[in-house]
Chains A and B, each alone.
Chain A
Amino acid sequence: MTCDGKKNSRRKAYPRSDMSGYASLRQYEGELRFFDVSAREAAALMDAGESFALLAAFANCPWCAAVIPALNDAAIEHGADLLYLNTRRDPAVRRNTEIEGFDEFYARFSELLGADEHGAPRFGVPHVFFVRKGSVVYDVRGDPSGLSDPREMNEEKRLAQKTLYGIGFSRMKREALRLENGLRLSDEFLVYDSSDGVRLLAPTGGAQKRFRGLVRLNATGADIVELLREETTQQAIAAAIAEEYGLPAEQIEADVASFFEHPARLRCARGKGGGKRGGKGIGWSASG
C-alpha cells in the first residue's frame, strides 16, 4: 500500500504495521490503516513533495493507545492510510529523540516539535502530522479531545477525536467537510451539535481572519439561522460564504445586506448551479 492509499507502481510499498501491541485495538473491529515508515523515509517524503498522514507513537504510551482507534476511524471515513513511525521499534531506544534518522526528521518538523528551555529538540507522542505536497497542513499533538487521563476515554471523547482528525484528513486531501445533508463547508469551519439540539458553525484558523464568531444553523445545517457574535460584520460573513462556495464576493454582499437582520435567515441552495434564487431566500450554488 502506498502512503496516500493509492496503488502506484512507482512508489514504494510500505509494510503493514504490527499494531498488536496496542491494548486499545484488541476489540477494534475496523480494518487497520497503519503502514510502517522510518523517520528518514518520512523526511524523504516531505522533500519529495508527497502528501501523507503520519502518526508518531509507540504501543506502551497510554496516550497513543487512547487516540489510535479514533484516528483509524477517521482514516477509514476519509479513505486514507496512515504512515506509522513507531518510536520504539528499536528496543534499545529510550527516548523518542534517539530514533534513527531523528535529525533529518526534526529538520523538517522542528517548528511543530519544538525545543525545551535548553534548546534541545522535543519529540512528544502521540503526534499526527497531515502533510500535503510536502507541507504540514495540520497536526494534532497529544489527545485532541481534552482527555486529562487516558482511562477516562468514552464515546463522546472518541467522537471528538475522530472529528478533529477528520479535519486533518480533509486538509490533506483538500476536501470540504460534508454535513449529512450535503452542505459543503471548508475544513476551517467546525460544526458542533449541542446537547439541546442546536447546531453551531464556528470558524477556526484562517477562516477567523474574515469571520469571527458563531453561527447557528438549523437542524439540517441548510440554513444559517442566527449570527451569535456582534463583532462579525455582514461583509465578513459574505466574504467567508463567497469563498466557501467559490463565488464572487459582490454577488453575496448585496444578498447579505438585503436579507441579513439580527436574527435573519439566509438560505443556501445546494448544488443547483450558479446564483439561482428561490423564494425569499438567497440561492448560492456549491462549487466544484
Chain B
Amino acid sequence: MERIGIKLANIPIEAAVHHAHTASFLRGYACDGEPWEKLEITQKHIEAERATYAEQYPGEACAVSVERLELLALHRAVAEVLPRYDAAACHGSAFSLNGKGVLLSGESGAGKSTHARMWRERYGDEVLMINDDKPILRIENGEARLYGSPWMGKHALGTNISAPLFALASVRRAGENALRPLADDELWQALSSCIHLPSGAAEMLSTLRIMDRVRSCGARFFTLECIIAHSAAEAAREAFGI
C-alpha cells in the first residue's frame, strides 16, 4: 500500500492506495504537509465500485480493470469528504476564459466536452481547461471557485488551476443554438444534476448549503441548446457577457 499526499481545491488529503497506476495518476496534485483527511481504498471499496459500475454498464463490469476501479473508488471517497470543507465534486466540463470560470453541466452525452472543444478551437489561448470531467467547486471567502482534479475524462484535459465561477450552463444538443437564463426554479435542477450528493447527513447538509451559496454567488446561469460549431461558443460567450 502506498500513501500519497494530494491537494484538491486547497484541501490536503492523504490517499492510501494499492496500485502504482493510481500514484502516477495523482502526481500532478501531489503535496506534502499534514492532511485534513485520510482516505484508504480497500478491496471492499473496489468491489463496491465494481458493483456500481455493473449497474451502470451491464455486461462491462468484468472488463474494467482493478486500477480503474481504484481510481473511481478514490474519487467517490474524495467526493464524500469534500463537503466538510465547503467543496463539492462536480460532473461537467470546466474551463477558464481569461480567468473567468465556466462550468458546463448536463447529462452524459449531452455535449459538454464537445462544446468546451468549440470554445478552445474558437478562442485559442484565451481558454484554459480546468477539468473536462470531474472539476471541484468550492466556496471560499464567499466566492464560488472552480478547481481542477486528476479525474479529467477520457481525453485527460485539465490543469491544476482554479478560477472564480462566472457562468454555469446546462448543455443539451439541439438543431440550432439557443440560450436563455435559467429561471429560479430551474436552477436547483441544474445544480443538483452536476453536483455529487454525498451519503452522509452532515455532508449532504453542507452540499445543499454549497448549492444555495452558488445560487447566490453572482454567477450567471443558463440553459444552452447548441450545435457542434464555433457559432455555439460565440453565442454562449455573448450571452455570458465575458
* A residues whose Cβ falls under 8 Å from a Cβ of B: 117, 140, 144-146, 148, 160, 163-164, 167, 190, 192, 194-196, 198, 200, 202, 204-205, 208, 212-214, 216, 226, 228-230
User: Which 8 A/B pairs are nearest by Cβ-Cβ distance?
Assistant: A144-B202, A192-B208, A204-B201, A228-B192, A214-B192, A146-B206, A194-B212, A204-B204
B197–A202 touching, CB < 8 Å? yes
B205 on interface, CB distance cutoff 8 Å: yes
The residue in A117, A160, A214 that gathers the most chain B C-beta atoms within 10 A of its C-beta is: A214
Within the complex, what minimum Cβ distance (angstroms) separates A152 from chain B?
12
Known: A146-B84, A194-B212, A195-B212. A214 touches B197 (CB 8 A): yes
Within the complex, what minimum Cβ distance (angstroms) separates B171 from chain A?
14
Beta-carbon nearest neighbor of A163 in chain B: B205
B85 on interface, CB distance cutoff 8 Å: yes
Within the complex, what minimum Cβ distance (angstroms) separates B212 from chain A?
5
A146–B202 touching, CB < 8 Å? yes
Within the complex, what minimum Cβ distance (angstroms) separates A130 from chain B?
12
B200 on interface, CB distance cutoff 8 Å: yes
B188–A216 touching, CB < 8 Å? yes
Q: How far is the CA of A194 from the CA of B201 in the complex (A)?
A: 16
Count, chain B residues at interface, CB 8 A: 28
B199–A200 touching, CB < 8 Å? no
Known: A146-B86, A202-B197, A202-B204. A196 touches B192 (CB 8 A): no
Find residues 93-115 in chain B having any chain A CB closer than 8 Å to their own CB: 107
* B residues whose Cβ falls under 8 Å from a Cβ of A: 3, 38, 83-86, 107, 184-185, 188-189, 192-193, 197-202, 204-206, 208-209, 211-212, 215-216
Q: How far is the CA of A214 from the CA of B208 in the complex (A)?
A: 10
Beta-carbon nearest neighbor of A146 in chain B: B206
Within the complex, what minimum Cβ distance (angstroms) separates A74 from chain B?
13
A192–B189 touching, CB < 8 Å? no
Query: B83 is contacted by which of A117, A146, A148, A196 (Cβ under 8 Å)?
Result: A146
Beta-carbon nearest neighbor of A138 in chain B: B201
Give the residues in chain B near A204, CB-CB below 8 Å: 198-201, 204
Q: Could you name 22 residue pairs across A and B whose Cβ atoms are closer than 8 Å?
A: A140-B202, A144-B205, A145-B205, A146-B206, A148-B85, A160-B205, A164-B202, A190-B201, A192-B208, A192-B212, A198-B185, A202-B197, A204-B199, A204-B200, A205-B199, A208-B197, A214-B192, A216-B185, A228-B188, A228-B189, A228-B192, A230-B193
Give the residues in chain B near A212, CB-CB below 8 Å: 197
Query: A190 is contacted by which of B83, B188, B204 (Cβ under 8 Å)?
Result: B204
Within the complex, what minimum Cβ distance (angstroms) separates A122 from chain B?
11
Beta-carbon nearest neighbor of B200 in chain A: A204
Known: A146-B86, A213-B192, A228-B188. A195 touches B205 (CB 8 A): no
Give the residues in chain A near B107, CB-CB below 8 Å: 230
Give the residues in chain B near A160, CB-CB below 8 Å: 205, 209
Q: How far is the CA of A204 from the CA of B206 in the complex (A)?
A: 12
Within the complex, what minimum Cβ distance (angstroms) separates B138 from chain A?
12
Q: How far is the CA of A192 from the CA of B192 in the complex (A)?
A: 14
Q: How far is the CA of A190 from the CA of B206 in the complex (A)?
A: 11
Beta-carbon nearest neighbor of A142 in chain B: B84
Give the residues in chain A near B198, CB-CB below 8 Å: 204
